[in-house]
Amino acid sequence: MLSFVSAHSPLLAIVIPLISAPLCMLFGNRTVAFTISTLAVAASFALSIYLLWWVKDGTVLSYHIGGWAPPLGIEYRVDTANAFVLLIVSAMGLLTLPYARTSITDEIDENHHTLFYACYMLCFTGLMGVTITGDAFNVFVFLEISSLSTYVLVALGAKKDKRALSAAYDYLVLGTIGATFFVIGLGFIYMATGTLNMVDLSQRLPAISDSRTVRAGFALIVIGMGLKVAVYPLHRWLPGAYTYSPSAVSVFLASTATKVALYVIIRFMFSVYSARFGFEAVTFQYVILPLALVAMFGASFVAVYQINLKRMLAYSSVSQIGYMLLGLSLLNVEGVSGAFVHMFNHAMTKGALFMAVGAIVFRTGSAMLPNMAGLGKQMPWTSAAIVIGGLSLIGVPSSAGFVSKWVLMSAAFERDWWLIAFLIVGSSLIAVVYVWRVIEVLYLQQPNKDVVVKEAPLSLLVPTWILIITTLWFGLHADFAIGFATTAAENLIQGGFGGKEVIILGVESR
Amino acid sequence: MMEPTVALLTTMALPLAAFVLCLLTPNHHNIRDGGTFIISILLLGCVLNVLSHFNAGTSIEYEALAFQPGLSIAFSVEPLGMVFALVASSLWIATHVYGIGYMRGNKEQKHARFFACFAFAIFATIGIAFSANLLTLFLFYELLTISTYPLVAHKENDAAKKGARTYLGILMGTSIVFLLTAVVWSYSIAGTLDFKPGGMLPTTLNPMFTAVLLALFAFGIGKAALMPFHRWLPAAMVAPTPVSALLHAVAVVKAGVFSMLKVGVYVFGIDNLASTGASQWLMWLAAFSILAASIIAMAQDNLKRRLAYSTISQLSYITFGVALATSMGAIGGGLHIVTHAFGKITLFMCAGAIYVATHKTNISEMRGLGKTMPFTFIAFGIGSLSIIGLPPFAGSWSKWMLLVAAADTGQIIMIGVLMVSSILNVAYLIPIFARGFFSPATGTGSKAVNADMPWREKLMEAPLLVVLPPCLTAIGCIVLFFYADTIVDFLNPIALAPSLETNNG
């Protein structure tokens, strides 16, 4: 049994949550659906940890689905980079579920609860699948699975606020455009190389890297995924989707969806295209880097003026994504590992913040800043969580945010780009402003005396505080994330799909 | 006697315990205040314990966490930090007592939050004092900023919010933009962040880089209130007076100049600064700060604001000592941390005592108050004279040493600056004290005083808990005058270390 699980662990991490989605609908009972999905995500989480430990030294696992050897068959390929992202996604997925169970009672009609769980599981499966697969077209398939279910999840917020429908529609339109660009890009490189397996692509592309088709393919892929990542001018769907979707959905999307899309960009850029030099590197230095800087400042400025706290956090996400893109654009090991470290740290921080805001919405029914006056006294634990999460966004030492900033700044110094290092810290100054606005409202304004607000229930507080504590823990024990991220970055920077050794899993090849 | 490392860690655990105690007892005023008082005395005992180990020659080090080679959270004891910890912990006792009296006498709100943040700030201060590398220093530096923010905003009215915003904005802004950059840059140059006698950075560093890096540090350590980043200090005066007294005359600002000293001595190395001349510009800027702040202070009518500007000026003395880049300058700076702490805390506590007793904040309203509040005003006078630098008060030694250091380097203009500054000090401090005793009482609120009333009936002092602490620290100013050489001897190793290093290497 154990050897079976071990041999099929990459596949099981995807298939278990996939199967649980229809089961949720089939049983039609929300308690059962919750149990099934929690068990499935927990299994997926355990497998992710198992895989990460297996590949942490740079080993690569190659799993041939159904025994069909690539490039004909579909391959799942696990290395340190995507095992790390798998861990982020599954951990956040697991923590969000118990939170969701309470928070959706208020936000979603009771007869839609099983639908919620089913879509959640599909979304989860999609994100995990995008991350694990080694087949370029398979990325597109899983991407659509996660996107389509996300549109539904966002739209489920309509019970509370009808604007959720238009937000979901915006996301649907832009998301589809992004996916289309992506698949056209895939078509271009398929045309040029005749293969869709990533390892195969990485071997064939260097020879024809001057071809206009290949370059256009790269551009289309980056733009398509850039829409999903919410690279600065392509971010218009994000604030609406995060603001009006149910709290639990905001938590899950904010901490995982954009990161997975970013991972895809990284994978295509470094592994498939081996973009250390040449056209792709130029793209990143002259196009993505300025955009990242614009995001870091522009989106932060916009965040300062938001009075809806969820919207503020959403804009803050856009700016934090700028940090990750900046790390990539540095095109060195420190920079790429900085991007991974920040993915991990930002997932925890933003997840915790969205959870805390969700708890306030649960109690007061609103995420508007003016309604939160004096909540520091009435909801001490939730407010304290917002303070610590906010400090981590700023990047105060001993919080996770500090670690990412440190790594990114070292990376900038390593390339002798002083100005960039300055801009990194400069942007966190704006974070000070938007975080402190909230802290002032929570603690220094007089509460409305007529309204008695109770502290959030434990089922919301416990997941929030687990994330807050991990934020502080990994702020001090930074070697955990930095270790994995550096191994991942070293492998990626080399280009291609090499690793220490490649282990082939699954049933015997036919 | 505790084990050296245990004692070191206990010095940090005790204020944390006080922090937790204050949070747990929001409504039990006596338990909280009494408990914290006991803890503050224990802390002093514990710091003395560390001192005795240190004097015995034990090297006391503890590494709490290590991320990467050269990056860790670690603590160690060296003379400068030892002195700073002693000052902070001994003055915590005085200020805590004073704080109890002030908060109760003034009927302030939210005592628990106040004392909790206070204790946490002490924790951060001790952490700064004993930090063994720049990363640890930076960590506690930021914690100090954050934990004092609620104290500055304590009154929760618009003025307090505005002041607190300036406070946080400048301190956090400078530390994030300049200091963090400087720290990361140092790490990328040196590959380590551990403080090292004689300087952590390689001496081969381009002088131009050294000057730029020094600028990042000097402006990044906003708590040292070097102009033009001094605005937070007067803004923070909206805080209740105990906060101004301990945190803005001792802990916060001294953490700033202490960090400057540490950076000068252990990051750059005095000899390195002297040979490259990288700190010349800093000396001029510090001299400018000394004079400009004194001149602004003269124009302030609000007593606490005047003291705040006086603090800015006095802090620049210490930065000046570092920038002179001589061992005498560094030691004089270290001594000035101690003497100014005692002098300035006395002045602030007196200002608070006047406020508690009469609710007066403006100097022009304080004429003749000395007759009804003699203890407060005598203490104020002693504090003033110490700040000015007259014997037999502690401040005279540190100013003397800085003067000699300036003369040693042949900076004639700088000698002039220091002397003019002392005259300015006289001009803005002595009138307060003199008018208190020699001007007729004015204004309303004070009771009619007849010359033939017995002296006890004339008294209109603040409660005992508010008056006693400034009297004690004023006595401290006199006592320190006679023990200054002990401190100088104690600090000597920081200056000797680099020359030993060069001899060996």
Please provide the DSSP assignment of B13-39 as one string.
HHHHHHHHHHHH-SS-HHHHHHHHHHH
Q: Which of B153, B160, B184 sits opposite A421 (nearest CB)?
A: B184
Q: Which of B139, B150, B181 sits opposite A422 (nearest CB)?
A: B181
pLDDT of residue B367: 81
Q: Is residue A145 in a domain?
A: no
Residue A161 Cα distances to A108, A363, A483, angstroms: 11, 16, 43
Contacts of A432 in chain B (CB under 8 A): 168-169, 172-173, 176
Structure confidence by residue, pLDDT tens digits, A280-305: 777 788 888 899 999 999 999 999 99
Who wins on pLDDT, A461 or B496?
Answer: A461
B112 touches chain A (CB under 8 A): no
pLDDT of residue A203: 86
CB A308 within 8 A of CB A368: yes
* Residue A33, Ramachandran bin (φ over 0: left; ψ between -120 and 50: alpha; else beta): alpha
Q: Is residue A33 in a domain?
A: no
How far is the C-alpha of B66 from the C-alpha of B50, rounded, in Å?
24
How far is the C-alpha of B82 from the C-alpha of A48, rounded, in Å?
49
pLDDT of residue B443: 52
In three-state secondary structure terms, B444 is coil
From the CA of B96, how many Å to the nearest CA of chain A? Answer: 24
| Residuewise pLDDT in 10s, chain B (505 residues) | 678 888 888 888 999 998 988 888 888 888 888 888 889 989 999 898 888 888 887 788 888 888 776 788 889 888 888 989 988 998 888 888 888 888 887 777 788 888 888 899 999 999 999 998 899 999 999 999 999 998 888 888 888 888 888 999 899 989 988 999 999 988 888 888 888 887 888 877 788 888 888 899 989 998 888 888 888 888 888 888 888 887 777 888 899 999 999 998 888 888 888 888 788 888 889 999 999 999 998 888 888 888 889 999 999 999 988 888 888 888 888 889 889 988 888 988 888 888 888 888 888 888 878 778 888 888 988 999 898 888 888 888 888 888 888 888 888 888 888 889 989 988 888 888 888 888 776 654 445 555 566 666 666 777 778 888 888 888 888 888 888 888 888 888 876 644 434 433 3
From the CA of A373, how many Å to the nearest CA of chain B? Answer: 13
Q: Is residue A341 in a domain?
A: yes
Q: What is the 8-class DSSP label of residue A132?
A: H
pLDDT of residue B502: 40
How many domains are contained in chain A?
A: 1
How far is the C-alpha of A406 from the C-alpha of A395, rounded, in Å?
9
> How high is the mean pLDDT of chain A?
89
Q: For residue A224, what pLDDT band results from cuts at 50, 70 and 90?
A: very high
> Phi and psi (nearest 5°) for B451?
-65, -30
3-state SS, one letter per residue, for B96-163: HHHHHHHHHHCCCCCHHHHHHHHHHHHHHHHHHHHECEHHHHHHHHHHHHHHHHHHHCCCCCHHHHHH
pLDDT of residue B500: 39
In this structure, which long-range contacts are made by residues A152-155, counting pairs with CB atoms below 8 Å and at least 24 apart in sequence? A152/A115, A152/A119, A153/A116, A153/A119, A153/A120, A153/A123, A153/A245, A153/A246, A153/A249, A153/A253, A154/A241, A154/A244, A154/A245, A154/A249
Q: What is the 8-class DSSP label of residue B441?
A: P
Contacts of B181 in chain A (CB under 8 A): 409, 421-422, 425
Q: Is residue A340 in a domain?
A: yes
- The residue type found at A287 is V
Q: Is residue A376 in a domain?
A: yes
From the CA of B204, how many Å to the nearest CA of chain A? Answer: 18
B146 touches chain A (CB under 8 A): yes
Structure confidence by residue, pLDDT tens digits, A258-277: 999 999 999 988 888 876 55
A57 touches chain B (CB under 8 A): no
Q: Do B176 and A432 touch (CB under 8 A)?
A: yes
A429 touches chain B (CB under 8 A): yes
- State percent of chain A over pLDDT 90: 51
A428 touches chain B (CB under 8 A): yes
CB B406 within 8 A of CB B481: no
Q: Do B65 and A409 touch (CB under 8 A)?
A: no
From the CA of A87, how many Å to the nearest CA of chain B? Answer: 21
B177 touches chain A (CB under 8 A): yes
Which of B146, B165, B181, B208 to mutate against chain A (most A CBs within 10 Å)? Answer: B181
A455 touches chain B (CB under 8 A): no
Q: Which of A397, A425, A428 sits opposite B139 (nearest CB)?
A: A397
Contacts of B184 in chain A (CB under 8 A): 406, 409-410, 413, 421
Contacts of A409 in chain B (CB under 8 A): 180-181, 184
3-state SS, one letter per residue, for A373-398: CCHHHHCHHHHHHHHHHHHHHHCCCC
CB B182 within 8 A of CB B174: no
Task: Give the domain extent around A350.
Answer: 286-494
Query: Which residue is associated with the tokens 């700028």?
Result: A322
Q: Which of A396, A432, A444 sits opposite B161 (nearest CB)?
A: A444
Who wins on pLDDT, A470 or B246?
Answer: A470
Q: Do A394 and B176 touch (CB under 8 A)?
A: yes
Q: What is the dihedral of CA B381, B383, B386, B391, to 10 degrees?
A: 50
Contacts of A426 in chain B (CB under 8 A): 177
Contacts of B168 in chain A (CB under 8 A): 432, 436
From the CA of B186, how many Å to the nearest CA of chain A? Answer: 10
Contacts of B172 in chain A (CB under 8 A): 394, 432
Q: Which of B156, B173, B187 sits opposite A432 (nearest CB)?
A: B173
Which of B67, B158, B174 to mutate against chain A (most A CBs within 10 Å)? Answer: B67
B65 touches chain A (CB under 8 A): yes
Strands of the sheet containing A502-505, edge to edge, are A75-78, A60-64, A502-505
A408 touches chain B (CB under 8 A): no
Who wins on pLDDT, A208 or A327?
Answer: A327
Find the helix or strand (DSSP H, E) in which B48 lies. helix B29-55
Of A337-341, A492-496, B45-49, B263-267, the least confident: A492-496
Q: Is residue A152 in a domain?
A: no
Q: Is residue A419 in a domain?
A: yes
- A396, closest residue in chain B (CA to CA): B142
B453 touches chain A (CB under 8 A): no
Q: Which of B160, B169, B184 sits opposite A406 (nearest CB)?
A: B184
In three-state secondary structure terms, B172 is helix
Which of A304, A407, A440 to mutate against chain B (most B CBs within 10 Å)? Answer: A440
Contacts of B169 in chain A (CB under 8 A): 432
Strands (E), A104-214: none
Q: What's this model's pTM, rounded to 2 decimal places?
A: 0.90
Q: Do B187 and A410 touch (CB under 8 A)?
A: yes
Q: Is residue A249 in a domain?
A: no
B74 touches chain A (CB under 8 A): no
CB A497 within 8 A of CB A78: no
